[in-house]
Amino acid sequence: MSAPVERVGVVGCGAMGTGFAVLCARNGRTVTVVSSSPATVSRGRQRLRESLERAAAKGKLPAGDLDAVLDRLSVTADLADLAGCQLVLEAVPEDLDLKIEIFSQLDKVVQDPDAILASNTSSIPIIRLARATARGSHVVGMHFFNPVSVMPLVEIVASLLTEDRIRDRAQEFATTVLGKEAIVSGDRAGFVVNALLIPYLLSAVRMLESGFATAEDIDHGMLRGCGHPMGPLALVDMIGLDTVGAVADALFDEFKQPLYAPPPLLSRMIDGGMLGRKSGRGFFDYS
């Protein structure tokens, strides 16, 4: 029987990695976060602190608990510091080559032979990452949604190589420890949510591109006509145009269906650095 997961590793200190790390630490786990380089370690620590301070300011974290949670969080630039982890979540950008390289390295540095190696990928088939290791049976997808602290869902994705008990351990950790709701998806690009969501978002981009309606009217139509909490173009801006483009590319590569092909407008905006909220400008202006 596997030991309970107490030591967690996170590769990547962006929005998803930070959110997952903080959630684990708030639920009593010791967490080591690997940042991209020594130069970004201090920025990673600051990002973790700011996330906790925001939670405390909103009354979601008792002020007296902030230091205790911070004490359970550490940031490093060395993957070797994840050697003792029982679960490692990769949360780097949607770049297949980068993710394969990380899983290849994790296979060498994580010492526990029963450790779960998980990916937060939103689109890449898990078996492609599993094949980068000598323990494909222990590789699983754990796709959280942004912001991790707020969104209740996680998709659990087992490849053809994943052992059932590893899938079940990952799901139990997400639900019992982190308090999330889980759905189980087959190992196909986009999984459940993005395979349905991305064609909808791309359709909104195509509608804008064709001149059929303005961005404001497209989003207002879905807000007021369908009761959606956010319009599709505002949602693309929040996710990041580059991320939406990468997921669309992965879906099109898998299924070869036109509805998954990124529209030229999306591609040109990505080329121009108009990535949405994180760049200050996307389909709407955030400057």
Residue at token pair 């019992």: 176
Question: Looking at 51, 90, 123, 143, which residue is catalytic?
Answer: 143
Instruction: DSSP letter for 3, please.
Output: P
Q: Is 143 a catalytic residue?
A: yes
CA gyration radius, the chain = 19
Residue at token pair 């902030």: 66
Q: Is 155 a catalytic residue?
A: yes
Q: Is 163 a catalytic residue?
A: no
First to last CA, the chain: 53
- Identity at 213, one-letter amino acid code: A
Residue 104 region, left (φ>0) first, then alpha (ψ -120 to 50), else beta?
Answer: alpha
Q: Is 122 a catalytic residue?
A: yes
Question: Looking at 90, 149, 155, 159, which residue is catalytic?
Answer: 155
Residue at token pair 């070797």: 80
Measured CA to CA, the distance from residue 128 to residue 141 in angstroms comes to: 11
Question: Looking at 74, 122, 123, 185, which residue is catalytic?
Answer: 122
CB count within 10 Å of CB 174 equals 21
Measured CA to CA, the distance from residue 145 to residue 137 in angstroms comes to: 24
Buried b vs exposed e over 251-270: b needs ≥16 C-beta within 10 Å? bbebeeeeebbbbeebbebb
Measured CA to CA, the distance from residue 192 to residue 100 in angstroms comes to: 22
Residues with a known catalytic role: 122, 143, 155, 194
